[in-house]
Structure 1
Amino acid sequence: MKSLFFAMVTFLGATVFAHGGNMEVALGPQFEQRSGWLTKDRSGVSSLLSFHLLSGQSESGAVSFFDLQMGFGSFEGVDRGGYPFAAGETIHQQTFALVPNIGFGSLGGGHFFAGVGPQLISLRQSSPSDSAQSFGTMIWQAGYRLPFGEAWSGNLKINYSDYSSEVANQKSFFATFGTSLQLGYRF
């Protein structure tokens, strides 16, 4: 997982250097509604940190940027448990995603955007024993970005991701709807 994260950061940094884009760091809460496998608490809040590579604007008015985002949160597991996790214990969740977005508007003004990209989800439980599982999926997102001042911006995002598989004769399904509000700063 650390190697994948390093690769994502390296890719984003190289892209910024190659294209001369502006980097924006955005941080804020994400409100999540979960369903399916391992879920007891149907909603929760996680922290979402994003690195935006803001590119230029085409003659048609299209704007685009890469979004490298990381989420950190936890939730309470279901009473019956699920492989490889014990029942009723806290499960810590980390997510990493790289989402190319495209939208219409102005980089200097507000614009809507949408994108889809790969996401890595890592689940870990430390009690009663150390158990972990990681899997990849796709994340779909849409939102609105509104710059203000000289370097600040507000970002509203909604996203969806799901995962399904069969492990140790157990069918698994895990879906997350997220709504995040982030404050960004451009370099």
Structure 2
Amino acid sequence: MYMAQHPVRVLLIDDQESDYLLMRSLLSSIPNQAFHLEWASSHEAGLEAIRRAAPDVCVVDCGIDASDGLELLKNACEAGSKAPVILLTGTSDFQLNGEAIGLGAADFLVKDQLTAALLERSMRYAMAHARTLDELRRQQDELRASELRFRSVVQSASDAIILADDSARIIGWNRGAEAIFGYGEDEVLGFPIELLMP
């Protein structure tokens, strides 16, 4: 199953060595994909590894070091991590699951139900979703920059420029229009364009 041409960098944040050994075994049994597994055994070491290693995906135990896996998820997001986070838990707690997803977790898996196929699918979907979100953010940034350039051109024009939506309501207006018609932009936004040309 295809995920990436390079080894997928997986960061496991879990205080149990047995869980690390299980994860290593599961990853090694996934066909056609190489993995580089890094293990952090504490909350602090996990956050440091996220900053330092820039993993492709993080797998976080919800009960690590008596600190909450959800707290680590929040801290990772606040630190600017773009790596998707998959939470592991010992039980299928639907409330915790909902809370985790609400905080941005990519998935929520129960340890004793974990298989190589389930782990592979979860990581593949999480990384694909993260790439889609990155692309969406990039496009939004480009759109905002384009809008700023457009507004700058419109505002610097000495001619009257009036922008209207598809129902002929005023949605924008430059200084030239203010000078010609005598209304400020805030006075005409949302009004029909016929207000100006009866």
User: TM-score if structure 1 supplies the norm length?
Assistant: 0.24
Larger radius of gyration: 2
Bigger share in helix: 2
User: TM-score if structure 2 supplies the norm length?
Assistant: 0.23
Bigger relative contact order, structure 1 or 2, given CA contacts below 8 A and separation 6+?
A: 1
